[in-house]
């Protein structure tokens, strides 16, 4: 009985609190601070663990030193980010003061008016030296709202032993690449069941894009203030024909799968090549190299074994940027990465701009590069280093391209139109018909 | 922040010594049909029963297979989860995934948040629904029928897009990133279900029992709380199970309401293990899910007997 | 079990999260005493429940309804003025042939799943009432586990089971059962096969609720009634259909009603399976379709209203009947 009564009091108390918290909600202290002190706090939302602790600490320390105010970094998950931004950015109370956002999400929020105008700051923060595709994604007309934060590019990983056994060389043109995939699959030197020359699942449109772009095609083009799907253009069709050939002869990956975890079949020996962001190097785990170290074992011996394992994996795995039409040029691949912006609702615009100055400083950009991320400022990308991964990433990234900067592009991805389309191509559909239908759907969605 | 734990933990203990046990409830029929169905003469029936028992066990094994696969996966390193030949028995398994879960400080923090949110939600939802159920089953007033229908209709409206206006409302009251804010929307979601359920239980308890108590000198309120309320224990437990699961596993509202990483609930924590820009350690995810399921399962097993009897009381008496 | 892996609000509970059996037979023992209680007492008792429902659910629902008559998207959330468009959103949806396709699919999927869930649930409930204690508890525990485990985990496991390359089901079919053609079978690529897989998962998650409720109902049928029927010489089958079923019918009504409501707006299972590699447009049901419109908030709101009407149409018969039997 007593428990129940207490519960009742508590529940009713909760309700009362709900009712009167209206009055207490307006907390003081968020007014734009002319002179900042340590009590003034601004919040930065970073997604996932790409910005590591060293980078975060640098931002916190530098921000405190330069402004005297406090920087709070809150890590958000990429999963579910959109609903969070959709709600939090509309609230003056809750909005972060600086926010990282996926590059394909940037146009939607930029066009909706979620971000403050950074046009005046643009030149100071790097101007033309910044990754232009990302700048475009964050712009409306001549105004810039979201700037690039970092980029990552896809490169092709391959199994050196399988290449040698099949007598295949690293391809130097896109055509050679397709041929290599087909040759590898036919050779299947280890006699593996359901072997793929190139792991290319049916819904993996990110990895199919280079063929469209290299042949001069596009996903969608702007005509006046309207967008139109461009998969039916002769250039796109040429690329799609090649893609279908690759699907038919160069891969045995399931048609009902997407680009997730392509290293799994690679590790299992069921694929000779896969394409992924360069961080996938840490996921390569070939059985012949595995030392069986427990994941939570942090002893020196375990770490030594781990280093040995990684070295073994990397010695057996090669990486190259997807080649373009001409020998010696990298293909235009899809750029992953993120933008960074100041939400309109933030009440600390000036401090937020200070933080951007720190982020776009040469020091921080160099640190990003040293941590394997392609920095916004392309002049400083050389800090990536000169190992094969950095070189492959850099070659791919400098020519990388984003999805069309249409306001509603995120809806195309939300409706998974391209996943569906590529799946049809993989299933042997008539390319012209499928493209015409999808072009129509894209146009309906974008306009 | 401290809060009461789930009320059903204290369920049995809250019954005053003098109150009648649920078993003493004057039931309309004495021997339940299930028992009667089982009471069949002859050895042939007994063989049939064993065969049926075997069938039941086989069905149980088929049903539990996906759960078995989850638990089995939680003992394997991630590179053995998706291989050409599946691993059916993790005989050479590892506890590393569980160690990873327990050494993650955010797991414990999220666990606390989840317990608090679930606890408050449960207490409030059960109490409010209980009072409403009492009103619609013990009182007669204008609008009673409309209320019951409204409660049903509210459950029919798809709520996929509702989180935006719910967020705006909580934000205008400063309840975002606040346990009470999340609790409010949870209570709103759970109460309609619970009213329908509890209504049956309240109606099932004869008002004469209360009247007898009042003859013995109890006030009306006293009679209700001393006599009727304890009889509802199974019903409250049964409703509690639904509320518990609902609040414990909810994701979308928690996602937009609890943006502060220190206020994540367990489903957010679990989803956070699924990486976007690097490889997800699925073994750890499965271990985490198993650990989230454990309280649910323990709770289930603990109240299982009472829930069944609770369902019984509400089911046909109306 | 709300869809924590995917994003559905708590109110849109999938089948397994459920209301218990609602009462359905007119009260035999409790006539309402209208003279004994003050008239306002009833309203006072409703207040604590009504308040959070009205505030936490009712108000957002009203806002959703109002916005379904506006043009309201992301830009409006960031302060652009919302324009009144009358019933344009509704017209746009209802004149779109694709929407009708989705509605037809959803109704078919809902009826098939609700029927299957009810049939299996009732069969297992009867089975449960006829086996020994050990077998019963085993079955109950299995059901409880399927019911109470976080959906993120169970859906991930289901994905693994039906995976084309590494799926356990393909492996079992190909290796021990020798159907080598099934070794790399794509379960999700054909809409019909997709719905088959979805049905397996939805039924797997929904049946436990039905089993427990119906089993409880069976326990409640007075033994004397059955014994009397037995003495009258009624066969076991007859006793079941003529005595037991009519007595648990009210429970069956409520359970079936809830199954229809939940299966019509099934979301999580479909959403996750689509992302596991199914063709999206060919597999949308109402729940996932509304979700894909969620950035166009006003459209999603209009779709939700349409769905409410649809649900009412599908269940009106049940509701009227239930209300009648309840002497409201």
Among the partner-chain residues C28, C131, C261, the one whose CB lies closest to the CB of B53 is C131
Q: How many Cβ pairs closer than 8 A exist between chain B and C?
A: 460
Nearest CA in chain A to B13: A1
pLDDT at A177: 96
C18: pLDDT strictly greater than 60: no
Does any domain span residue C317? yes
Residue of C nearest to A108 (CA): C74
Compute the average pLDDT of residues B132-154: 84
Asked if B141 lies within 8 A of C17 by C-beta distance, the reply is: no
User: Higher confidence at residue B53 or residue B274?
Assistant: B53
Tell me the chain C residues in contact with residue A255 when contact means C-beta distances shorter than 8 Å: 164, 186, 189, 277
C-beta of residue B22 within 8 angstroms of C-beta of residue B15? no
pLDDT at B201: 65
Measure CB to CB from residue A94 to each of B225, B259, B275 and give the nearest one: B259
- Name chain A contacts of C164, Cβ cutoff 8 Å: 254-257
Q: Output the average pLDDT for chain C.
A: 80
Residues 17-76 of B with CB under 8 A from A: none
Query: Is pLDDT above 50 for B117?
Result: yes
Instruction: Kindly indicate the confidence band of residue C31, based on its pLDDT and cuts at 50, 70 and 90.
Output: very low
pTM assigned to the model:
0.82
**Contact between chains at B155 and C5 (C-beta distance less than 8 A):** no
**Residue B15 clears pLDDT 50, i.e. is over it:** no
**How many beta carbons lie within 10 A of that of residue B43, not counting itself?**
7
Alpha carbon B30 to chain centroid, angstroms = 29
B232 to chain A, minimum CA–CA distance in Å?
13
Q: Which CATH class is domain B97-315?
A: mainly alpha
**Residue B148 — pLDDT band, cuts 50, 70, 90?**
confident
What is residue B32's three-state secondary structure? strand
The Cα of B28 is separated from the nearest Cα of chain C by a number of Å equal to: 7
Residue C6 reports pLDDT greater than 50: no
pLDDT band of B234, cuts 50, 70, 90: low
- Tell me what ipTM this predicted complex has: 0.81
User: Which of C6, C15, C19 to mutate to probe the B interface, most B CBs <10 Å?
Assistant: C19
CB contact under 8 A, B136 and C319: no
Q: Do domains A36-152+336-397 and A153-334+404-446 have the same CATH topology?
A: yes
Residue C183 counted as domain residue = yes
In a domain, C5, yes or no: no
User: Which segment of B135-149, C7-21, C108-122, C193-207 scores lowest on mean pLDDT?
Assistant: C7-21
- A318, burial (CB in 10 Å: exposed 0-12, middle 13-18, buried 19+): middle
Of A266-280, C284-298, C302-316, the one with minimum mean pLDDT is C284-298
Q: Which residues, in sequence order, are bridge partners of residue A273?
A: A158, A198
Q: Reply yes or no on whether the pLDDT at B26 is more than 80.
A: no
Work out the minimum CA distance from B18 to partner chain C, whole angstroms: 23
- Compare CB distances from C165 to A11, A109, A254 and report the shortest one's residue: A254
- Pick from B136-140, C33-37, C135-139, C259-263: least confident: C33-37
What domain range includes position C242? 98-325
Question: Could you tell me the end-to-end alpha-carbon distance of chain C, in angstroms, rounded to an integer?
Answer: 32
The secondary structure of chain A, three-state, reads: CHHHHHHHHHHHHHHHHHHHHHHHCCCCCCCCCCCCCCCCEEEEEEECCCCCHHHHHHHHHHHHHHHCCEEEEEEECCCCHHHHHHHHCCCCCCCCCEEEEECCCHHHHHHHCCECCCHHHHHHHCHHHECHHHHHHCEECCEECEEEEEEEEEEEEEEHHHHHHHCCCCCCCHHHHHHHHHHHHHHCCCCCCCCEEECCCCCCHHHHHHHHHHCCCCCEEEECCEEEECCCCHHHHHHHHHHHHHHHHCCCCCCCCCCCCCHHHHHCCCEEEEEEEHHHHHHCCCCCCCCCCCCCCCCHHHHHHHHHHHHHHHHHEEEECCECCCCCCECCCEEEEEEEECECCCCCHHHHHHHHHHHCCHHHHHHHHHCCCEECEHHHHHHHCCCHHHHHHHHHHHCCECCCCCCCHHHHHHCCHHHHHHHHHHCCCCHHHHHHHHHHHHHHHHC
Contacts of A6 in chain B (CB under 8 A): 4
Judged by CB atoms closer than 8 Å, whether chains meet at A48 and B83 is answered as no
Contact A14 B183 (CB under 8 A): yes
pLDDT at A440: 94
**Mean residue pLDDT across chain B:** 77
CA distance B296 to B114: 12
Q: Which residues of A touch C (CB under 8 A)?
A: 11-12, 15, 18, 80, 83, 86, 89-90, 108-109, 111-114, 193-194, 201-203, 252-258, 264-265, 270, 344, 410-411, 414-417, 419-420, 423-424, 427, 441
Least confident of A262-266, B236-240, B244-248, C24-28: C24-28
Tell me whether B314 touches chain A (CB under 8 Å): no
Domain ranges in chain B? 97-315
Contact list, A258 vs chain C (CB under 8 Å)? 275, 277
Mutation site for B-interface testing, chosen from A79, A96, A259, A287 by largest number of B Cβ within 10 Å: A79
Contacts of A410 in chain C (CB under 8 A): 295
C38 confidence band (pLDDT: 50, 70, 90):
low
Minimal CA separation from A143 to chain C, in Å: 17
Round to whole Å and give the CA distance between B204 and B207: 9
Confidence bin at C327 (pLDDT 50/70/90): low
Domain spans, chain A: 36-152+336-397, 153-334+404-446
**Low pLDDT (below 70) residues in chain A:** 1-36
Which residues of chain C have a CB within 8 Å of the CB of B111? none
Confidence of residue B62 (pLDDT cuts 50, 70, 90): very high
Q: How many CB atoms lie within 10 A of CB A132?
A: 13
Look at residue C237 and tell me whether its pLDDT is greater than 90. Answer: no
- C13 domain-assigned: no
A153-334+404-446: CATH number: 3.40.190.10
- Collect all residues of chain B within an 8 Å Cβ-Cβ radius of residue A49: 275, 277-278
Is the domain covering A36-152+336-397 a CATH 2.40.50.100 domain?
no
Q: Where residue C218 falls among pLDDT bands split at 50, 70, 90?
A: confident
Reported as a pLDDT band with limits 50, 70 and 90, residue C220 is low
Does the pLDDT value for residue C294 go beyond 70? no
Asked if A94 and B274 come within 8 Å (Cβ–Cβ), the reply is no
User: Mind telling me how many Å the CA of C6 is from chain A's nearest CA?
Assistant: 8
- Which pLDDT value is given to residue C222? 61
The domain total for chain C is 1
The predicted pLDDT at position B204 comes to 61
Q: Which residue has the higher pLDDT, C73 or B10?
A: C73
Lowest-confidence region among A111-115, B200-204, B253-257, C51-55:
B200-204
Give the pLDDT score at C195: 96
């Amino acid at each position: 009985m007593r428990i129940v009564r207490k519960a009742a009091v508590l529940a009713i108390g909760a309700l009362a609190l709900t009712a009167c918290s209206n009055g207490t909600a307006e907390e003081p202290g968020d007014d734009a601070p002319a002179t900042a002190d340590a009590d003034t706090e601004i919040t930065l939302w970073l997604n996932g663990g790409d910005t590591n602790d060293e980078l975060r600490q640098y931002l916190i320390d530098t921000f405190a030193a330069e402004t005297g105010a406090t920087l709070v970094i809150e890590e958000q998950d990429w999963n579910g980010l959109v609903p969070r931004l959709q709600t939090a950015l509309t609230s003056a109370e809750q909005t972060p003061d600086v926010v990282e956002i996926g590059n394909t999400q940037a146009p939607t929020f930029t066009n909706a008016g979620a971000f403050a105008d950074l046009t005046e700051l643009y030149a100071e923060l790097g101007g033309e030296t910044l990754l232009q595709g990302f700048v475009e994604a964050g712009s409306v007309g001549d105004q810039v709202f979201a700037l690039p934060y970092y980029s990552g590019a896809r490169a092709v990983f391959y199994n050196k032993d399988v290449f040698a056994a099949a007598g295949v060389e690293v391809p130097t043109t896109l055509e050679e690449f397709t041929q290599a995939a087909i040759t590898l699959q036919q050779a299947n030197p280890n006699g593996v069941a359901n072997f793929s020359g190139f792991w290319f699942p049916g819904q993996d449109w990110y990895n199919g894009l280079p063929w469209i772009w290299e042949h001069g095609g596009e996903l969608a083009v702007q005509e006046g203030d309207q967008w139109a799907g461009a998969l039916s253009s002769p250039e796109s069709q040429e690329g799609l024909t090649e893609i279908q050939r690759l699907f038919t002869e160069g891969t045995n990956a399931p048609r009902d799968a997407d680009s997730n975890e392509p290293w799994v079949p690679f590790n299992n020996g069921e694929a000779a090549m896969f394409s992924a962001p360069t961080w996938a190097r840490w996921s390569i785990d070939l059985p012949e190299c595995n030392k069986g170290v427990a994941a939570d074992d942090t002893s020196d011996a375990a770490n030594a074994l781990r280093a040995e394992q990684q070295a073994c994996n990397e010695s057996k795995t090669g990486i190259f940027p997807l080649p373009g039409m001409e020998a010696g040029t990298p293909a235009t691949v899809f750029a992953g990465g993120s933008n960074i912006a100041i939400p309109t609702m933030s009440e600390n615009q000036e401090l937020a701009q200070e933080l951007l100055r720190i982020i776009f400083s040469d020091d921080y950009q160099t640190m990003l590069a040293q941590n394997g991320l392609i920095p916004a400022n392309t002049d400083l990308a050389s800090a990536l280093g000169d190992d094969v991964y950095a070189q492959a990433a850099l070659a791919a990234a400098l020519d990388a391209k984003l999805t069309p900067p249409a306001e509603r592009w995120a809806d195309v991805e939300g409706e998974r139109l391209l996943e569906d389309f590529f799946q049809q191509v993989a299933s042997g559909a008539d390319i012209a018909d499928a493209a015409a239908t999808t072009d129509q759907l894209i146009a309906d969605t974008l306009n | 922040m401290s809060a009461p734990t789930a009320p059903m933990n204290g369920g049995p203990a809250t019954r005053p010594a003098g109150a009648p046990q649920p078993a003493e409830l004057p039931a309309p029929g004495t021997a339940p049909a299930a028992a009667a169905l089982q009471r069949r003469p002859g050895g042939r029936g007994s063989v049939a029963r064993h065969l049926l028992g075997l069938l039941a066990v086989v069905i149980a094994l088929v049903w539990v297979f996906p759960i078995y696969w989850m638990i089995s996966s939680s003992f394997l390193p991630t590179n053995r989860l998706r291989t050409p030949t599946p691993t059916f028995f993790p005989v050479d398994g590892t506890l590393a995934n569980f160690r990873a879960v327990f050494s993650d400080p955010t797991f414990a923090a999220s666990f606390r948040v989840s317990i608090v949110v679930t606890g408050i939600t449960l207490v409030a939802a059960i109490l409010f629904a209980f009072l409403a159920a009492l009103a619609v089953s013990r009182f007669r007033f204008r609008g009673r029928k409309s209320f019951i229908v409204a409660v049903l209709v509210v459950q029919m409206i798809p709520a996929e897009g509702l989180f935006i206006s719910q967020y705006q409302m909580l934000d205008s009251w400063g309840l975002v990133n606040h346990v009470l804010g999340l609790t409010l929307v949870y209570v709103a979601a759970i109460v309609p279900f619970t009213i329908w359920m509890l209504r049956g239980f309240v109606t099932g308890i004869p008002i004469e029992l209360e009247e007898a108590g009042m003859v013995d000198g109890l006030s009306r309120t006293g009679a209700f709380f001393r006599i009727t309320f304890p009889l509802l224990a199974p019903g409250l437990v049964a409703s509690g199970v639904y509320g518990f699961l609902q609040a414990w596993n909810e994701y979308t509202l928690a996602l937009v309401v609890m943006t502060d990483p220190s206020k994540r609930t367990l489903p957010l924590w679990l989803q956070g293990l699924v990486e976007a820009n690097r490889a997800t350690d699925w073994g750890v995810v499965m271990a985490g899910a198993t650990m989230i399921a454990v309280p649910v399962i323990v709770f289930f097993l603990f109240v299982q007997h009472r829930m069944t009897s609770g369902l019984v009381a509400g089911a046909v008496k109306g | 079990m709300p869809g924590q892996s995917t994003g559905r609000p708590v109110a849109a509970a999938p089948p397994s999260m459920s209301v218990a059996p609602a009462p359905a037979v007119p009260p035999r023992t409790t006539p309402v005493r209208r003279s004994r209680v003050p008239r306002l007492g009833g309203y006072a008792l409703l207040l604590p429940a009504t308040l959070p429902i009205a505030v936490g659910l009712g108000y957002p629902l009203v806002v959703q309804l109002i916005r379904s008559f506006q043009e309201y998207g992301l830009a409006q959330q960031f302060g652009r003025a919302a324009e009144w468009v009358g019933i344009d959103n509704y017209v746009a949806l209802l004149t779109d042939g694709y929407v009708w396709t989705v509605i037809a699919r959803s109704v078919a999927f809902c009826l098939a799943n609700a029927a299957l869930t009810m049939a299996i649930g009732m069969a297992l409930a009867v089975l449960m009432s006829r086996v020994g204690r050990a077998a019963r508890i085993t079955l109950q525990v299995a059901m409880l586990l399927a019911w109470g485990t976080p959906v993120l985990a169970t859906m991930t496991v289901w994905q693994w089971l039906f995976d084309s390359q590494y799926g356990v089901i393909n492996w079992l079919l190909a290796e021990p059962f020798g159907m080598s053609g099934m070794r790399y079978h794509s379960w999700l690529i054909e809409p019909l096969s997709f719905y088959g897989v979805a049905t397996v998962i939805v039924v797997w998650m929904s049946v436990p609720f039905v089993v427990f409720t119906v089993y409880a109902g069976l326990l409640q049928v007075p033994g004397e009634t059955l014994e009397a029927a037995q003495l009258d010489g009624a066969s076991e089958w007859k006793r079941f259909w003529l005595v037991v079923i009519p007595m648990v019918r009210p429970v069956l009504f409520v359970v079936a009603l809830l199954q229809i409501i939940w299966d019509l707006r099934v979301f999580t299972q479909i959403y996750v399976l689509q992302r596991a590699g199914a063709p999206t447009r060919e597999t949308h049901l109402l729940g996932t379709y509304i979700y894909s419109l969620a950035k166009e908030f006003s459209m999603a709101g209009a779709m939700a209203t349409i769905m409410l009407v649809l649900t009412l149409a599908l269940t009106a018969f049940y509701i009227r009947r239930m209300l009648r039997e309840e002497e409201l």
